[in-house]
Amino acid sequence: MILASQFKRFFRAAILSTVAFAWQGSAFAGPIAIQAPTGLHAGDQFRIIFVTPDAINAVSTNITTYDNFVNTEAAGATYNGQTVHFSAVGSTDSIDAKVHIGQTGTAVYMANGTEVSASDTGTGLWSGGDLLAQPTQDLAGNSYTSGTVWTGTSGVGTEYNTLVTGQGTVYWGLGATNNVTDKGITYINNVEVGSLHSNVGGYDWISLGFGVGLAPRTNSYQVYGISDVLTVAAPVPEPSTLLISGLGVLAIGVAQRFRKKN
């Protein structure tokens, strides 16, 4: 009888702990937990692209400045319990965007599961053509269908540059310092931008071209961030399921011991 009484007390305490765990999980949301896109299976790989909710200027020539910014904006987002690292989708005089984020052949999605491109290579994200969907959402799923994004990048993933008559090749990457006059218009310290406008096509998401696609680097605009390659994990049972299963095994063991004792 003593053993049976101890088992009842243990079982009651375990149930209370499960309830407390469930309540605690709903009360403290914590960082955004990224989910694998629907249709992928264990072992499949993917990347997440997002636009930052907040804005920054493009004065810095150091790509790390923009990496730090997009990771701060990601606010510790996790996948499969691990914090996800993001890279800024941008070019400087020192590095092209496609080199900075890496070309791995991995499909690119938004956090809501919408596929942006079948690949992060020259046949997908950097094909210089239309994407499957425009990356206009932040990690929380908020949409931005108008606005400007700092990129410093051409549609094929290299630092944006133009050939200006009498002035040679001019580069318009992040942090650019230039002083160019073309057709009566002077551009001083301008950087290439992309557009979040819902009606853009082709590579306008990353590069609006010469003239309309240039803006003074002291302006404040949003930035794209893209995750490292993520791998779909095998399903893991919910903690409550594990606890109930464990209690079942424990109950069987206690019952067997109780029968032997009696």
Identify the CA nearest to 120 among candidates 49, 183, 27. 49
User: According to the model, what pLDDT value does residue 20 have?
Assistant: 39
* Domains of the chain by residue range: 34-231
19 pLDDT above the threshold of 70: no
Mean pLDDT across 135-159: 97
Identify the CA nearest to 187 among candidates 167, 157, 158, 159. 167
- The span from the CA of 249 to the CA of 167, in Å, is 79
- The span from the CA of 224 to the CA of 70, in Å, is 7
Summarised one tens digit per residue, pLDDT across range 206-245 is 999 999 999 999 999 999 999 999 999 987 666 655 555 5
User: According to the model, what pLDDT value does residue 223 have?
Assistant: 98
User: According to the model, what pLDDT value does residue 235 have?
Assistant: 79
Q: Does domain 34-231 match CATH 3.10.100.10? A: yes
56 pLDDT above the threshold of 90: yes
94 pLDDT band (50/70/90 cuts)? very high
Find out whether 150 and 196 touch, Cβ atoms under 8 Å. no
User: According to the model, what pLDDT value does residue 175 have?
Assistant: 98
Number of neighbours of residue 221 by Cβ within 10 angstroms: 19
- The span from the CA of 193 to the CA of 135, in Å, is 14
Q: In degrees rounded to 5, what are phi and psi of residue 223?
A: -140, 150
Summarised one tens digit per residue, pLDDT across range 172-191 is 999 999 999 998 999 999 99
Find out whether 193 and 213 touch, Cβ atoms under 8 Å. yes
15 pLDDT above the threshold of 50: no
259 pLDDT above the threshold of 80: no
Lowest-confidence pick of 72-86, 106-120, 194-208, 218-232: 194-208
User: According to the model, what pLDDT value does residue 212 have?
Assistant: 93
198 pLDDT band (50/70/90 cuts)? confident
Summarised one tens digit per residue, pLDDT across range 113-124 is 999 999 999 999
What is the pTM for the complete model shown? 0.81
Please measure the distance between the N-terminal and C-terminal CA atoms of the chain and give it in whole angstroms: 10
- The span from the CA of 44 to the CA of 143, in Å, is 27
Q: How distant is the alpha carbon of residue 251 from its chain centre?
A: 45
- The span from the CA of 93 to the CA of 108, in Å, is 26
Find out whether 137 and 109 touch, Cβ atoms under 8 Å. no
User: According to the model, what pLDDT value does residue 185 have?
Assistant: 93
- The span from the CA of 220 to the CA of 55, in Å, is 5
22 pLDDT above the threshold of 60: no
9 pLDDT above the threshold of 80: no
User: According to the model, what pLDDT value does residue 260 have?
Assistant: 57
